[in-house]
Amino acid sequence: MVAAKVSASDKTPVSSFPVSVSHPFNPDNYFELFGLPVSCEIETDRLEAQYRTLQAEHHPDRVSSAEDQVRLEAMQRTSIVNDAYETLKSPLKKAGYLLKLAGMDPEEHNQAHLQGEFLIRQMEARESLERLIAHEDMDGLEVLSLKRCGNKRQGLSTLHPVMTTGSW
pLDDT score at 113: 63
Domain ranges of the chain: 1-108, 116-165
pLDDT of residue 91: 87
pLDDT tens track for 25-34 = 777 899 999 9
Burial class (CB in 10 A: 0-12, 13-18, 19+), 70: buried
Q: Which residue has the higher pLDDT, 87 or 131?
A: 87
Domain 1-108 fold is Helix Hairpins (1.10.287)
For the entire predicted model, the pTM comes to: 0.56
Q: So what's the pLDDT on residue 52? A: 93
Residue 39 vs residue 141, higher pLDDT: 39
